[in-house]
Every structure is written in C-alpha cells, then in structure tokens.
Structure 1
Amino acid sequence: MRTRQFDGKRLRAARRARELSQKDLGAAVGVKGPAVSRWEDGQEFPKGEKLPALAAAVGEPLDALFPADGPADLHLLRCDAGLSITQAAEVINASRVPVSNAEGGRRRLSEAYVKPLAQAYGVTEAELLAAQDVSFGVRPEGSRDGPATPRTIGEKINYLVQHGYVGQEAPSDEEIARLVNEHAGTTAVTTEDIVALREGATTEASDAVRAGLAHALQVNVGLFQDDAELGAEDRQFLESLVFLGSIHRGQILGLAARGNGEGLSAEMMAKINEVVGELRHKLPEAPGSE
C-alpha cells in the first residue's frame, strides 16, 4: 500500500512559516489543535486523506511537503483526492468492501466502478486502472521501485532463485529438474525445459511440473498456479524475500552510513528484528539446517 512520507518537523516548519497556530491548522483539516501537536511531535500520524488539506492549508505543494514513495496505487489516489474509504464507497453507491478489497489487492474493481471513481479521484480511467495494477503487485514498466512482481512460471522461478536463497547457493537448472522429477515420480521435465521456462521460450507447464517446481523451490504450490496475478499473501511472501535479502546484504543496516550519523533507532531495529522473526520460516532452509 503506497503512502506519502510524513515528517512532523517539516509540517511544523511550514505551519510556522505561514504564521498559523496548531488550532488554526487543525480547523482547516477538521481536527483539534492537540491532534496537530501530536502529529508534529511524531506521536501520531494523520490519515492519508488529510495530507492534501494539510499541504493546502500551509501553502505547500503536496509532493514537496509529503513526497510519495513509488508509483501510485488505489490507496494513494484515494488519499490524494482527500477521500476516506467510506466517502469513496458512497461515490459508487456501495459498501466499503469493493474499495477496501481493491486497495488491498484482493479483488479488482467492478467495471461499473471505474469511471465514477476515476472522476472522484481526479484521474483518467487509464490512470485508475494502472494504479489498480500497482495495488495488485504489477509494477509499471520501467519502475525502479524494487523488482517487478513475477507473473509467468519462468519469472517466478527466476525471482525465487535470485531472492530466495539468502546466504546460500541457489539450485541449478539441473538440480531443479531433478527435484521436479523426483516429486513427480517420473521424467516430467529436462534441464532444457527448465531453461526454456526461465528464458520465456515457453510459458506452459503441466500440473505435475508446477507442483514439482513448488517442491523444488520450497514454496506453496499456489505460487505456481495458472493465474498470472498473485494473491496478496503470495505477493507478501515474495516481498519478504527481497526484504530479508536486503538485510543480509547490509542495505538496510547500511542506512546509517547515508546521512544518518546516529544510525537506525532502537525502535526501528526492534521492528526489523520482529519482521525478520515473523518471516524467517518462509525462507528456503539452508542445507544441513535443523
């Protein structure tokens, strides 16, 4: 889910430059002064749909005051329009469920909802559909925001081989073929077949091969089902591999060396440790591990 970066100190500076009190700013966005104080002190964060009104109240461009992180998804479009989920649901005369499901990457919007939501969000229908793709893990072409979510069988193999073996050697094409055949109990694929899948020369595979690939790469068989579009849980799993790989390579811990002399806070380190603990069991086991 895409969000904008919020910095309470930056908001405070912009408010003071505008000679507004916390009470004045709160009134402009429909909250009390103490809420603004908590935002500026970093104790709480405003809802995403409040950010456009905050930026307008202090006379700052939204993108300058609250930069967006990556390409827009449905959540970001709604928030940038200043709408809550309830208000967006009212636009399409429905419950909150269709909007919530689409933003969470669980079920796409009905075709009948696309036009009214695009109008409410102030974007074209094409832009809304592109944002919906982002919500479902499909990254725009040329995006630098991490590796693209794999869709074909070969892309999924490549993704798992590249990101799923932190600190250990990934299986070769020959090894993958052997494990697939071992699981199938017959010669279902050759090494050349695996290469063809990974290079995109072929995109078809039998159910036995799909199940064997899941066995060989130690993932849930659902990851290799026919549907090109991955479910939210599968996308979370794939993102977790990249996240843990970044930790292993020192990219996250290396943040301390890039303009932050104090390093990561104890709270951030605790959060990283918590996430690592939650996701560790999802990684392929290292050879010889217990």
Structure 2
Amino acid sequence: MSTRRFDRVRLRSVRRAAEMSQAEMAAGVRVSDSTVAGWELGSSEPDQEKLPAIARVLRRDLDDLFPRGALPDLRDLRCDAGLYRYEMAEIIGTKSDGPVAGAEQGVRRLKVKYLPALARAYGVSEDELKEAEERSFARARGDDASDGVSAAETEELPRTLADKITLMLDHSYPAGTAPSDQDIAAAVNAYAGLDVISADGVARLRLGEDEDPAPVVRQGLAHMLGVTPLYFEADDVVARQVYEGLRLMSAAKQGQVGRIRARGMTSQGVPPDVLSILNDLATKLDKAERPESE
C-alpha cells in the first residue's frame, strides 16, 4: 500500500506556521470551513485527491507534507495529479472511467492509446506510467506486502458494470480459458430465449462503453458467471462480498485452489449463497488446474 500518510497534527501546525486560518485554507482547497476543522480534529480525513491542493495552498512540497512509504501505483499517480476517477472518462475519451478503474485495480491493462493522455494528465512519462501500472498489478496479486496490508484492503471496490464483468472473468476461470465475447453473448441469448445482445455488445459492456444494458442482459450475465443478479446492480454490499471472496480465493491458491472456509471478511461476513458461489468457482478451478495424473 503506497497511499500518502495524513497527519492531522502536522497539518494543523503547518497551517498555523503559515499564519493561515482554517477559513483561508478551506477557500484555497475549495472545501467548507467545517471540513478543514474535521481534518484537524481527526473526525475525517481528506481524499487522497485533495492532498496536492492542500500542499499547494500551504506552499509545502507534497512529499514532505504527506510522505509515501513506497513507489506509486496508478491510483497514486492519479491522486497526485488531484484527479478523481470520474474525471478520467473525459481525459481518455471514453463514456466511463472503466478502463482506468480496471487498470488501477490490477484486473485489466490500459490500452496503448490511453497512455499519452494519461501521462500528460498525471505529469509523468509513459514509461513511468507503465511502471506504476506494473505495481498496481503486483499489488493486486498480493506481491506487495511491505506493510502487511492485503490488496483487497487497498483497492477500490469495483463499481462500474465493466469493472464487475472484468473482475469475474479474470478471477473465475483458469488463465487463458475465459469465455470470448461471442461465448458470453451466446450464453446470455440462450438464457433470454432470444437474441438480446451481440458479441460487439458484450465488448462494449466490458470496455465501459455501455453501462445500461437491458435487465435481461444483466440477469443473463449473472446466470452465466454464477453470481447473484444483485452483483451487477448498484449494491456495494453484495459487490464487496463477491470481491473480497474472490480475493480470498486468490490468496488461498497455492498450486491449486482449496475450499473456502466460512469466515467473516466484513462486518457481515460472507452470506451462505455468496460463499456457495465462491466454493463452486474454487472447485471448478481446482479441477481445471489439477494435473491429469492426479
């Protein structure tokens, strides 16, 4: 985890040393006076995307005021540029932030055509951008454990339809065996009993170019991938449960995937139906990856 460290006591002392009131700082950062007060009291913390503006207003170096313990990944570069993820669609010229979100989460690499625009927006070279992307993927795999925090704890919850589809495709099938867009379209159409989507339509969903398919398409996707239809709706609780379950399954994989034990991974734990889905996926992966001699 390379998120910058926020110290409310240091923020307050630096602001006072600059002889700046909370109201003046708030105006410079474009937040309310009460927001700044909350930061200094410890009742809240600023978004990582706000830290560059705070450092700029206080005339301090970002690395000095909010140090980071490791090299930046893609999310860090975006935050250091003061950009929120919802702003990325306009920067790369897409209808959603799905491509950037997928790369930040380590589930889908950036297309080459997006690199120049992102490098300019982040104020880095394309090589630096690629290096940050590698770190995002390494952390998603759990390769970066320098601070003892798991990848699932540091990544953002998949929120867009594109993110959710990609997450399931990348983590529910052995390497190289994920279904093609044509396969997915055929499965959804079979579920619906008529042609409701084409391979091109599936590609648009995966790339975040279409975020509002017909309900029957969402249901068909859920049926094919073996998850509750709620996973593809705007339900963070269900999405988090599936997301964390997949991460746990990935972390437990050492040569082959073992069964997942029912244990609480959130305040609510994993519900029996979601746990059953994950165990089914684990069994399929186990069979697919077990050598024939076993």
Q: TM-score, normalised by structure 2?
A: 0.51
Q: Secondary structure at the match of 2:93?
A: coil
Q: Give 2:34's aligned residue.
A: 34
Q: Contact between 1:75 and 1:103, CA under 8 Å: does it hold in 2? A: yes
Residues in 2 aligned to 1:49 and 1:120: alpha-carbon distance in whole angstroms: 13
Q: CA deviation at 1:12?
A: 0.7
Residues in 2 aligned to 1:234 and 1:223: alpha-carbon distance in whole angstroms: 11
Q: CA deviation at 1:275?
A: 6.3
RMSD, aligned α-carbons = 3.9
The alignment status of 1:119 with 2:120, answered yes or no, reads yes
Q: Contact between 1:105 and 1:137, CA under 8 Å: does it hold in 2? A: yes
Residues in 1 aligned to 2:267 and 2:92: alpha-carbon distance in whole angstroms: 40
Q: Give 1:130's aligned residue.
A: 131
Q: Secondary structure at the match of 2:34?
A: helix
Distance 1:79 1:17, change over 3 A: same
Q: Secondary structure at the match of 2:42?
A: coil
Q: Give 2:44's aligned residue.
A: 44
Q: Give 2:103's aligned residue.
A: 102
Distance 1:239 1:72, change over 3 A: farther
Q: CA deviation at 1:135?
A: 1.3
Q: TM-score, normalised by structure 1?
A: 0.51
Matched to 2:116, the amino acid is K
Q: CA deviation at 1:42?
A: 1.2
Aligned length: 179
Distance 1:27 1:146, change over 3 A: closer
Q: CA deviation at 1:3?
A: 1.5
Q: Contact between 2:106 and 2:139, CA under 8 Å: does it hold in 1? A: no
Residues in 2 aligned to 1:274 and 1:226: alpha-carbon distance in whole angstroms: 26
Q: Give 1:225's aligned residue.
A: 174
Q: CA deviation at 1:237?
A: 3.0
Q: Give 2:22's aligned residue.
A: 22
Query: Aligned runs of 1:209-248 on 2, under 5 Å?
Result: 225-226=174-175, 236-237=247-248
Matched to 1:76, the amino acid is D
Q: Give 2:222's aligned residue.
A: none
Q: Contact between 2:119 and 2:126, CA under 8 Å: does it hold in 1? A: yes
Residues in 2 aligned to 1:240 and 1:38: alpha-carbon distance in whole angstroms: 37
Residues in 2 aligned to 1:238 and 1:134: alpha-carbon distance in whole angstroms: 21
Distance 1:234 1:108, change over 3 A: farther
Q: CA deviation at 1:233?
A: 6.0
Q: Give 2:188's aligned residue.
A: none
Q: CA deviation at 1:86?
A: 2.4
Query: Aligned runs of 1:1-290 on 2, under 5 Å?
Result: 2-94=2-94, 95-137=96-138, 145=146, 225-226=174-175, 236-237=247-248
Q: Which runs of 5+ in 1 are unaligned?
A: 150-221, 242-272, 283-290
Q: Contact between 1:137 and 1:235, CA under 8 Å: does it hold in 2? A: no
Q: Contact between 2:25 and 2:57, CA under 8 Å: does it hold in 1? A: yes
Residues in 2 aligned to 1:5 and 1:77: alpha-carbon distance in whole angstroms: 15
Distance 1:6 1:138, change over 3 A: closer
Residues in 1 aligned to 2:267 and 2:105: alpha-carbon distance in whole angstroms: 22
Matched to 1:134, the amino acid is R
Q: Deviations over 1:214-246 (max 9, x none)?
A: xxxxxxxx699346xxxx8698438967xxxxx
